Structure 1
Amino acid sequence: MTDLQTHRPPAVTQDGLFVGGRWTGAAHGGVYPTVNPADGTVIAEVADGSAADIDAAVRAARRAFDEGPWPRMSGHERSRILLAVADLIERDAEELARLDTADMGKPISFTRVENGLVAAAVYRYYAGLASQSHGSTHDCMGPGFAYVLREPIGVIGAITPFNVPLLLSATKIAPALAAGNTLVHKPSETTPLSALKIARLFAEAGLPEGVLNVVTGTGAGPGIALVAHPGVDKIAFTGSNLVGQDIIRASADTLKKVSVELGGKSANIVFADAYLDEAIEHAFNGIFIGSGQICIAGSRLLVQRPVYDQVVDALVERAEATMPGDPMDPATLIGPLAHQAQFEKVSGYVRTGLREGAELVSGGQSHHPQGPDSGWYFQPTIFKGRNDMQIAQEEIFGPVLTVIPFDTDDEAVALANGTKFGLASGVHTSDIKRAHAVAAAMRAGTCWINTYHQWDPGISFGGRKASGYGRELGPEVMSSYTELKSVWVDLPARSGGGIG
């Protein structure tokens, strides 16, 4: 056991909300605590923004878009700012990692990668695309011609979840700003610290006032105000299916553009001819990294019957040897759940699985590496179950794996597609023809073959069915942060004559 005092979270001083290039307190003067899930201690008091603060932030972003230099800069000039932010992220990568680990509970060994190398790569990638917004010209019927411009949309409202705070904010902020938009960011109330740090880095990099605004706050009020605000042109949301549906409904009154990534219940298929050692490793990491609090988690493991018991036994052995621990310890692989409500949700689903008749073969209980009742830790949990159970159909967002047997390729595909979600999937087999055939049949936005959790800023990401619509990352996302404008030019018909 590692004493939490050995790996202290960073000291945090908060300056309030970032609105119009300045730090300010919440309009009503309120603050709230953001809590370390490893031990329940308060990390910092954060400004508790309200609808009034959202309105101020939107107005600042609106002024910056309508009157400021950012949308009128060349892509090369915007690129310079984004590259500077990437450099600053790398400079402060350790601080950013420690902020997210303290705030969310993900082990420091993972946040060091996410908040240094990967987040910086996202900003660099979109810095490269900032000057690549191409239109087109057309020879038309009649005299003259037409050209099509790709222009920024306007003010973007970005609402991000608690589970990968810095990286998921980067996937929205970087392309939105690269395209010339301005932005209001509402981070999760439970993990706001790295979002506030990023605002400081943008200010240091020379971003014009009002281009990026950050409003923290508790409850649904600030998010609802952002979605309903007539000064916002697009909402980019990552979060739960139910909240996403509410956002889509609320956006109808102002006809906002909306992109939503709404989580999943991803199937990871292991065929009997798979390279089993590697498949088991990917299956374990696919669900238990981040304590299962990842939208693409492989929370349904479909295993062909001849190797079903072998795979389950190996996963149980691995799970029981990998208990959660202090997230600030670089040796820890699994940290606590991000907050108390998530702990209670996961506990409730374990009870549901037992009521449904699923066989609990590992875990299923809280775990307290620092002593009784310290932190929101939960053991890696494995059920043998069926695809029609709640634990196999609903997103738990925790370290709970349901292992389901199958016989044929067609059955595996039917089970994999047999949920309302369609975010990610995996297939493990040594037969390359089978791999491609099954990947093609999966109704999911991503499929990994003989791997899992691979990621690159140049590869688009998003869901189908109840997992939402729109894309993050890749060059494709730039189309969701831009509008098209067709311009017609009338040229007089030539009537002969010469030069001069």
Structure 2
Amino acid sequence: MNTPTLSKGQLFINGQWRDAADGAVAATFNPATELEIMKVAQATLGDVNDAVDAAHEAFENGEWRKMGPHHKARVLNRIGDLIEENADELAALESMDMGKPLAFARHFDIQFIADLFHFYAGVASGQLGGATRQVTPSETGNMPLAYTRKEPLGVIAAITPFNFPMILSCTKIAPALAAGNTFIHKPASATPLTALRMAEIFKEAGLPDGTFNVVTGSGRTVGNALVEHPKVKKIAFTGSTEVGKGILKQSSESLKKVTLELGGKSAHIIFDDADIKQAAQNASLAAFFNKGEFCMAGTRLLVQRSVYDEVLTELVEATKGLVIGDPLDMATTFGPQVDEGARDNCAKYVDIALEEGARLVMGGKPMTVDGKGYYFEPTILADVDNKSRVAQEEIFGPVLAVIPFDTEEEAIALANDSEYGLAAGVQTQNLGRAHRVAHAMEAGMVWVNTWGQFDSALPFGGYKASGIGREMGIEAMESYTQNKSVYVSLD
């Protein structure tokens, strides 16, 4: 595979590339080789203000907000087409920057974000209109004209994480642009490369200057400045629950709209009437996809006691099929953690689990490939107590806790005994049970006899401490628009 061309690592503000005001830069590293990839600009408060001013000016006086719906749709469709045309380059940048296996980035992430822009092109073209309403006639008997309009909010700022840099930015960018807003993106410090390349694609597609801006840098400087800025009308954040709570508090000062996609500790239930071999394959995928750096990971596996040992055996066999290696090798299915701290956090939780009485079935140790990389073995812990730390706290790595249960009622109670409620899964061949349990689980998305299936048309978001609001689907447009009612007297 050819090495992708790297951008200059600058800020993208008002359609132009520029250095940070004070020239500050920070390195981004390849977690598989531990080597520096490039240096990236670290925005100052002044740079953030310039980006917000550019986006605000573009919203108030620029083309995008006023552009006709079909013209907007053409630009969004062109973005989707360019993503597909540059798929190999984007996938390689994603793989280099965060350790995602290239095969996954190329065949899942890229196609998904292209589909997002094509989907929201359709929304922009035909599904954003308001509606006329029947209201009480006037005293003269005339029927007033009453209707609603959906209007954009203004400047949107997104603060996105390292684990799915393209997907979890585009789930925000695409609907925000479809609604006519302007945008500022603050990517994760560890994974800025695809954010910078996407800015080039947006410009090539014909997005007017100032409509989309990228400011790289620390959350403490850039993220806080965006959250506190009075001209930013909405914050869209994906990340930890702790940081999300802080953003919610900060945003309240200026009454910003906020959507938060936060942590998870998703329960995955295998009943004794499931196809055990397929259920184990699904459980391994749920826990170890994207090396466990997946907020929807099924990291609490609840298994009915009558098939508990059989599931563990099949689970180990399924997990042995993972190919651990260089993420840029298309054969690799399991790459390194994003950095040394993430790897060490996995080791810490395995030690905690063993102290709490869990049984180590597989994995449990850091490792390297050719002597390099922040890898952690796919790890299975059995006989876990659902009240233990390893079952209740988000590890964000390839550490799976397996918990036994006896009855359907017990399984539901265990599944819902968590502060989180992002995703959940059910493995059963009983159709009635599948619906009954899916309805009872406190989670924003439930998969039955599968895991990790998404579509642009389906909304996604969490219950409880897993977040506020929804991304994707037509439902996402509610958080990027505001409703106006117009009442016209015909007397």
Question: What is the TM-score when the length of structure 2 is the normalising length?
Answer: 0.97
Pair 1:444 & 2:443 matched: yes
Superposition deviation, residue 135 in structure 1: 0.6
Which amino acid is the alignment partner of residue 382 of structure 1? I
After superposition, where does 1:186-197 map in structure 2 within 5 Å? 186-197=186-197
Pair 1:133 & 2:144 matched: no
Aligned-residue sequence identity (percent) comes to: 51
Q: Secondary structure at the match of 1:402?
A: strand
Distance 1:116 1:31, change over 3 A: same
Counterpart of 1:461?
Answer: 460
After superposition, where does 1:352-431 map in structure 2 within 5 Å? 352-371=352-371, 374-384=372-382, 385-431=384-430
CA distance in structure 1 between the partners assigned to 2:109 and 2:361 by the alignment = 35
Q: 2:39 aligns with which of 45, 55, 64?
A: 45
After superposition, where does 1:230-269 map in structure 2 within 5 Å? 230-269=230-269
Counterpart of 1:23?
Answer: 17
Is the Cα contact below 8 Å between 1:320 and 1:362 reproduced in 2?
A: no
CA distance in structure 2 between the partners assigned to 1:192 and 1:111 by the alignment = 15
Superposition deviation, residue 389 in structure 1: 0.8
Which amino acid is the alignment partner of residue 72 of structure 1? K
Q: For each residue in 1:279-334, what CA deviation from the matched residue of structure 2 results, as whole angstroms up to 9, or x when unmatched?
A: 11100000101011011000000000011011112222333453521111111110
Which amino acid is the alignment partner of residue 455 of structure 1? F
Which amino acid is the alignment partner of residue 343 of structure 1? R
Superposition deviation, residue 51 in structure 1: 2.1
Q: For each residue in 1:409-436, what CA deviation from the matched residue of structure 2 results, as whole angstroms up to 9, or x when unmatched?
A: 0000000000000000000111100110
CA distance in structure 2 between the partners assigned to 1:477 and 1:352 by the alignment = 39
CA distance in structure 1 between the partners assigned to 2:224 and 2:345 by the alignment = 23
Q: For each residue in 1:3-59, what CA deviation from the matched residue of structure 2 results, as whole angstroms up to 9, or x when unmatched?
A: xxxx67534232500001110111111011000000111111111112221111111
Counterpart of 2:181?
Answer: 181
Q: For each residue in 1:79-125, what CA deviation from the matched residue of structure 2 results, as whole angstroms up to 9, or x when unmatched?
A: 11111111110110000000000000010010002343211111100
Is the Cα contact below 8 Å between 1:89 and 1:115 reproduced in 2?
A: no
Superposition deviation, residue 220 in structure 1: 1.9
Q: For each residue in 1:457-482, what CA deviation from the matched residue of structure 2 results, as whole angstroms up to 9, or x when unmatched?
A: 00110000000110010111011100
After superposition, where does 1:262-281 map in structure 2 within 5 Å? 262-281=262-281
Is the Cα contact below 8 Å between 1:17 and 1:216 reproduced in 2?
A: yes
Distance 1:15 1:386, change over 3 A: closer
Which amino acid is the alignment partner of residue 133 of structure 1? L
Question: What is the TM-score when the length of structure 1 is the normalising length?
Answer: 0.95
Superposition deviation, residue 362 in structure 1: 0.8
Counterpart of 2:342?
Answer: 342
CA distance in structure 2 between the partners assigned to 1:278 and 1:319 by the alignment = 12
Which amino acid is the alignment partner of residue 461 of structure 1? F
Is the Cα contact below 8 Å between 1:9 and 1:102 reproduced in 2?
A: no
Which amino acid is the alignment partner of residue 450 of structure 1? N
Q: Secondary structure at the match of 1:375?
A: strand
Which amino acid is the alignment partner of residue 107 of structure 2? V
CA distance in structure 2 between the partners assigned to 1:126 and 1:261 by the alignment = 20
Is the Cα contact below 8 Å between 2:185 and 2:213 reproduced in 1?
A: yes
CA distance in structure 2 between the partners assigned to 1:76 and 1:101 by the alignment = 35
Is the Cα contact below 8 Å between 1:323 and 1:379 reproduced in 2?
A: no
Superposition deviation, residue 344 in structure 1: 2.0
CA distance in structure 1 between the partners assigned to 2:105 and 2:330 by the alignment = 10
CA distance in structure 2 between the partners assigned to 1:222 and 1:109 by the alignment = 32
After superposition, where does 1:89-168 map in structure 2 within 5 Å? 89-131=83-125, 132-141=127-136, 142=138, 143=142, 144-168=144-168
Which amino acid is the alignment partner of residue 352 of structure 2? T
Superposition deviation, residue 339 in structure 1: 1.4
Is the Cα contact below 8 Å between 2:156 and 2:236 reproduced in 1?
A: yes
Superposition deviation, residue 351 in structure 1: 1.6
Pair 1:315 & 2:310 matched: no
Superposition deviation, residue 145 in structure 1: 2.7
CA distance in structure 2 between the partners assigned to 1:256 and 1:454 by the alignment = 32
Counterpart of 1:475?
Answer: 474
Counterpart of 1:69?
Answer: 63
Superposition deviation, residue 349 in structure 1: 1.2
Superposition deviation, residue 487 in structure 1: 1.1
Superposition deviation, residue 138 in structure 1: 2.0
Counterpart of 1:78?
Answer: 72
Is the Cα contact below 8 Å between 2:9 and 2:38 reproduced in 1?
A: no
CA distance in structure 1 between the partners assigned to 2:423 and 2:219 by the alignment = 29
Pair 1:489 & 2:482 matched: no
Give aligned pairs, total.
484
CA distance in structure 2 between the partners assigned to 1:353 and 1:412 by the alignment = 21
Superposition deviation, residue 451 in structure 1: 0.7
Q: Secondary structure at the match of 2:133?
A: strand
Which amino acid is the alignment partner of residue 100 of structure 1? E
Aligned-CA RMSD value:
1.2
Q: Secondary structure at the match of 1:368?
A: strand
CA distance in structure 1 between the partners assigned to 2:313 and 2:173 by the alignment = 43
Q: Secondary structure at the match of 1:220?
A: helix
Superposition deviation, residue 491 in structure 1: 1.4
CA distance in structure 2 between the partners assigned to 1:205 and 1:85 by the alignment = 6
Superposition deviation, residue 345 in structure 1: 1.7
Q: Secondary structure at the match of 2:376?
A: coil
CA distance in structure 2 between the partners assigned to 1:291 and 1:320 by the alignment = 14
Superposition deviation, residue 358 in structure 1: 1.1
Q: For each residue in 1:170-209, what CA deviation from the matched residue of structure 2 results, as whole angstroms up to 9, or x when unmatched?
A: 1000000000000000000000000100000011111101
CA distance in structure 1 between the partners assigned to 2:193 and 2:415 by the alignment = 37
